[in-house]
Structure 1
Amino acid sequence: MTVPSSVRRGATLSAAVLVGTLLPVLALPAAQADPGCTSEAAPPGELPVPLPLPSPLGPGDRCDDSEAPVTSSVTAAPAANAAGFIAQDSVTFTFTGAHTDADADPIAFECQFFNTPEPPADDEWTPCASPQTYTDLEDTRRQLGGVETPYTFRVRAYDAADRGIDATSPTNLLLGTGGAETDLPDTDQTPEQTSFKVDTQRPVASIFNTPFDRETPERPMITTDSPTLRINGNEPALVFDCDIDGREVPCRDDNVTFADLGPGTQTLSVSVTDRAGNTSAEPATTSFTVPEDLVAPGRRWKTRASRQAFGGDYLEASAYKTKITVAGVDVREVRLLANTGPKSGKLKYKTPGGAWRKVKLGGKTTKRGQVVIVRNEQSAPFTGKIAFRVMSRGKPVQLDAIMLR
């Protein structure tokens, strides 16, 4: 059958009309980044009814959401102390994010947590959610060069709906149109972060140069009222807390002189606290007995200055039957600090109700500040005054200090 040319021309015209009708719709405006854009998803198609033919028309133009969400400040529990430490092996971080515009897309987060000198690569982020907890943390240790590498936590918010969309991708695949000109980041470019160090170990205090006593090793007597002891701890930058029988005394990681101690048995206790706030589980202790400095009871005893003497001086008497007494309660042991040797005079002592007994001050060589045992710890106890009496003429008796225990 032959189709009239007029009919063929009408069919051609109808197609042209149809194309002409479509052209204004296809002439889409150039896509732009839009500061007011809150979603990069393309809007739906613009024709009210479906075309009978496959349509080159797709969704409308995309826009580029140029405002990424921001990440709030991070809160850690426990919080690091002033030295930047926590004293436990787990930590929990809380954080939030917010849009700075009217965007209603959901916000998600990515985190980095590391304990290395170099941070992870920028593509090494892990999905996370608040609160985020990390456990079984190892203590940070000093590395070569004395540097401690802290733990660092980073978190950044991102637009969970927009980040998976390339805003520049076309929405009309046939014509390659409908995409935005830009695709700015949908992730916060300024992550929040916090750093801290971990120390869960209790420090240990030590006391060196502790007094030694051959006669009573567990209850040593010292021969000075200002002993010097070496105080030490097993960690750097420790704070030392020392007391003697509950009385606070200053001390440090060094040789420490505890000056002008009173007479009697006393206990030094040393505790240490590290930078994380951990305190030693048990204090280091040492006990010792300090003698009592003797004071001249009258003119027959002369006070002689000496740097080597207990308290800086000692007593001297050479007149026959010159006496000195010292009171005590429930006393067993009695020791004197005295100068001994071949030129020393004779001395005797007597406890309440007892007889006069000899004190050994002699010797082949002259020695200063010697410990002279008058009575030992197995002796019967007494309460009252113990008396000492010079029993020679012309030879000096030199007494420095006395211990009653």
Structure 2
Amino acid sequence: MQRHRIATRLGVLALLGGGLVPLAAAPAGASPGCVDETAPGILQNGCDDSTPPETTLTPSTTPNAAGLVTVSSMTFTLAWQVSDGDPGPFGLECRLTGGPQAHDWRACTSPVTYADLPDAAAGTYVLEARAVDTGDRARTPDTSPALPPTVPDTPDEDPTPATFTWGQDTTAPFVFVTGTSYDETTPTQPVVTGAGVPIRINSSEPGSRFECTDNDLPVACAGGRWELPDPAAGRHRFSARTIDAAGNASAWSEPIEFFVPRNLTRQRGWKKVTDPGYFRGDAVKASRRGARLVLPRTTVGELRLLASAGPRHGKVRVRVGRRDWHVVNLSGPRTAMKQLVVIDRYSGLRTGRIVIESLSAKPVVLDAVVARPNRFPAATRDSGR
């Protein structure tokens, strides 16, 4: 940027000794590079400091990639910079756009704070700050009483104010999680026999993302109707939360519970059979009396069999540990998979291996087993998550 001192070359007349004597042109002014607008001499135009100070602005909080912050108070550190040795004095002016605290240019000091700002639901906030050469602003370079004005007075404030734009969202969204699996026998802990578990997840704020856990382990998920793919056998507790564009996170949802059966695999006396209607696409089949399936030791309060039924199908008997046998008749209308409650959830707990035995040479097709306690521990979540 350039500073210049302009000396006029106009001829003037002066009255000396009672006579009119023509004078030479006024002496040239100082060399270009003035740093202030000092008063000119009688036969000189003034000096215009045409290089205003520059402005820096640093916010207390940096917006995220969406341009949003989650705080309602913003503090800004402001400063001016000069490169020509101008001693000043200098000052600062600020202008805020957006919200009820908006104001036009006015003097401000660093740091400047705007507190209790409401969320900018309809747009964004914009703060502009400019440094001002307050010493030069009050002066005009053309003040010679004997010369016509020839020096323009350029602005004495930063013509390119430092600008900061941000959006604000301090309100956490709400998450809504609904399990859509149906189980008439245990509606609050349904048995799920599909390839995936259908769950509906929604947020109170459009555009929010979701975080989900299954048995407290993170799983990828999506909003709307979504399915947890290929869940492992056993009890599941699913929970979710939503995070809006600003980064505000909702509380974790109350867990929804469901249970996935244990798929049966071939043992001695049984062979594998396949059908799209079976749980996981396969089952085991026996056609001789005394063929046994033995499952690992477990605690059972409710026991169900998923089995294929048919007019010529036989019977099996089931027990847990050393307790009584329970006979299950698989004869009936043909169906690929049918849920049969062997021990209901009100019969008390028992512990031991589950033994299933064929009672005749008639074919029996067994698909999966539901073996779970009839009292479920409370689903809890670490409050610090």
Counterpart for residue 4 of structure 1: none
Quickly say closer, same or farther: Cα 1:393–1:264, change in 2 above 3 A: same
Q: Which residue of 2 aligns with 1:139?
A: 119
Q: Secondary structure of 1:78's partner?
A: coil
Structure 2 counterparts to residues 47-58 of structure 1, below 5 A: none
Given that 2:96 and 2:104 are in contact with CA atoms closer than 8 Å, whether structure 1 keeps it comes out as no
Q: C-alpha root-mean-square deviation of aligned residues, in Å?
A: 3.2
Cα deviation, residue 115, structure 1: 3.3
Matched residue type, 1:366: R
Residues 144-190 of structure 1, C-alpha deviations (whole Å, 9 max, x = no match): xxxxx33222111111122233333x453xx5x47552111111111
Query: Do the aligned partners of 2:300 and 2:320 also contact (CA within 8 Å) in 1?
Result: no
- Letter paired with 1:127: A
* Residues 32, 388 of structure 1: alpha-carbon distance in 2 compared, 3 angstrom cutoff: same
1:361–1:372: 8 Å Cα contact kept in structure 2?
no
Gap change, CA 1:307 and 1:78, over 3 Å in 2: same
Output one character per residue of 1:298-354: Cα deviation in whole Å (capped at 9) or x when no partner: 1x3221112222122012223233322323333111011122354432222233333
Distance 1:307 1:115, change over 3 A: farther
Residue deviations 1:202-259 (CA, integer Å, cap 9, x gap) = 2333333443332223322212353233333333443432222233322223544333
Note the C-alpha offset of 1:270.
Answer: 1.9
CA change 1:287–1:139 in 2 (3 A) is: same
Please say if 1:38 is aligned against 2:35: yes
**TM superposition shift of 1:194:** 1.9
Task: Determine the C-alpha separation between the residues in 2 that align with 1:368 and 1:33.
Answer: 104
Query: What does the per-residue CA deviation read over 1:102-124, in whole Å, with 9 as the maximum and x for residues that have no partner?
Result: 221211122222239xxx9xx94
Does residue 386 in structure 1 map to residue 337 in structure 2?
A: no
Aligned equivalent of 1:208: 178
If each structure's helix is expressed as a fraction of its own residues, which one has the higher value?
A: 1
Is 1:157 the counterpart of 2:131? The answer is: yes
Kept in 2: contact 1:328–1:404 (CA 8 A): no
Query: Counting strand residues as a fraction of each chain, which structure ranks higher?
Result: 2
The match for 1:246 among 213, 216, 219 is: 216
Question: In the alignment, which residue of structure 1 is the partner of 2:366?
Answer: 399
What is the number of equivalent residue pairs in this alignment? 356
**Structure 1 contact 64–180 (Cα < 8 Å) conserved:** no
Q: Which has the greater radius of gyration?
A: 1
Q: What is the percent sequence identity of the aligned residues?
A: 32
- Who is 1:347 aligned against? 316
One-letter identity of the residue aligned with 1:38 = V
Unaligned runs of 5+ in 2: 1-14, 373-385
Out of 272, 288, 293, which is 2:258 matched to? 288
Contact 1:35 1:67 in 2 (8 A): no
Who is 1:128 aligned against?
Answer: 108
C-alpha distance in 2 between matches for 1:355 and 1:222: 28
Q: Is the contact between residue 337 and residue 371 of structure 1 (CA under 8 Å) also seen in structure 2?
A: yes
Alignment equivalent of 1:79, drawn from 62, 67, 77: 62
- Normalised by the size of structure 2, how large is the TM-score? 0.80
Establish whether residue 306 from structure 1 lines up as the match of residue 280 from structure 2.
no
2:140 to 156, 166, 170: 166
Query: How far 1:77 sits from its partner (Å)?
Result: 0.9
Structure 1 counterpart SS, 2:177: strand
Match of 1:69 in 2: 53
Pick from 192, 202, 207 the counterpart of residue 162 of structure 2. Answer: 192
Q: Distance in 2 between matches of 1:376 and 1:392?
A: 25
Distance in 1 between residues matched to 2:175 and 2:155, nearest whole Å: 55
Task: Report the TM-score, using the length of structure 1 for normalisation.
Answer: 0.77
Q: Secondary structure at the match of 2:280?
A: helix
**Partner amino acid, structure 2, of 1:389:** E
Aligned to 2:238, the other structure's residue is in SS state: strand
CA shift digits 1:349-369 (9 cap, x unpaired):
233333332225344x33332
Task: Give the unaligned 5+ runs of structure 1.
Answer: 1-15, 47-56, 144-148
After superposition, where does 1:352-371 map in structure 2 within 5 Å?
352-363=321-332, 365-371=333-339
Query: Which stretches of structure 1, 4 residues or more, deviate above 6 A after TM superposition?
Result: 21-24, 30-34
Equivalent position of 2:382 in the other structure: none
Structure 1 partner of 2:235 = 265
Task: Quote the Cα distance in structure 2 between the aligned partners of 1:184 and 1:333.
Answer: 89
Q: How far is 1:60 from its partner? A: 7.3
The change in CA–CA distance for 1:306 and 1:379 in structure 2 (over 3 A counts) is same
Distance in 1 (CA, whole Å) between partners of 2:371 and 2:342 is 10
Query: 2:337, 2:155 → 1: CA distance?
Result: 85
- Counterpart in the other structure of 2:83: 100
Determine the C-alpha separation between the residues in 1 that align with 2:350 and 2:33: 99
Deviation at 1:397, TM superposition (A): 1.9
Cα deviation digits, residues 67-116 of structure 1 (max 9, x gap)? 211112x2111111233221111111112112232221211122222239
User: Residues of 1 paired with 2:302 and 2:296: CA distance?
Assistant: 13
Tell me the amino acid that sits aligned with residue 359 of structure 2: M
SS class of match (1:139): coil
CA contact (8 A) 2:29 2:44 kept: no
